[in-house]
Amino acid sequence: MSATPHTLTLPAPAKLNRMLHIVGRRPDGYHELQTLFQIIDLCDYLSFTLRQDGVIELITPMDGVMHDDNLIVRAAKRLQQASGTRLGASITIEKHLPMGGGLGGGSSNAATVLKGLNQLWQLGLSDATLAELGLTLGADVPVFVLGTSAWAEGIGEKLTPVTLDTPWFVVIHPGISVSTPAIFQDSELTRDSLPITMARALQGGVAEWRNDCEATVKKRYPHIAEALDWLAQHAPSRLTGTGACLFAAFDSQEAAQAVAKRANQHWQAWVARGLNTSPLQDALGC
């Protein structure tokens, strides 16, 4: 963390869904999930400068996203309203995570805003309070506020911290966007996986983990199917969320780098380390 009393620069890390089971559908249309979230060390970086005039300004524009619709701005204004502070902030972002890739970039940005401005504005709000605010912005925001690997149920908001293995991952973005609503509305999507306990999920481990969205996504998006099949030649591959990003785990950084180098001939690919504690937690010293 680089900081003065008036500035702050913090990471906003990505996540992977190591597994994703869909166990039902609620009357309101939302799906009941069971998933394992793992933070990885692939990050955006947000910088905050304190303002005394109450203005929230995102200085760095994002293609296709109006200023006031951006989760960064919405999170800052939500915290401002909830706390009653008269302070504001100018915010910039160094963007590395692909938008709409299933890595949780927007949700992570929102969580970093909540935690960063909580410190910059000296509000003293608890993570539990910030997570409640975050949930109003998106179901994945609380896991980034919590800042640990987690077992999640409900729509992904009921979180229990867990400790997972920390392999090196190759993460591939096939260069296309996936419509999450279209996947969840697809009539062929698996919605009746039998619920399992957290203990069973952790005990069964990688061999039993799967993503119930994967078959539907592969059917609708041949480019993603191609990338999944290619990566599966090197290690068991899996979609994260509804995609478009996919990943595989490797025992060593060297092995992951070798595969990522080959993947980069066709797609955008990264090597990232699995973590059990978010770099945002480390940066804030909490």
Which residues are catalytic, by number?
A: 15, 140
Q: 113 and 77 in contact (C-beta within 8 Å)?
A: no
* Lookup: tokens for 116: 């960063």
Cα separation, 15 vs 109, in Å, equals 12
Closest CA to 141 of 111, 162, 118, 165: 111
Residue bearing tokens 């975050």: 134
Joined tokens for residue 191? 């919605």
| CB count in 10 Å sphere of residue 286 | 11
In one-letter notation, the amino acid at residue 210 is R
Q: Are 278 and 148 in contact (CB under 8 A)?
A: yes
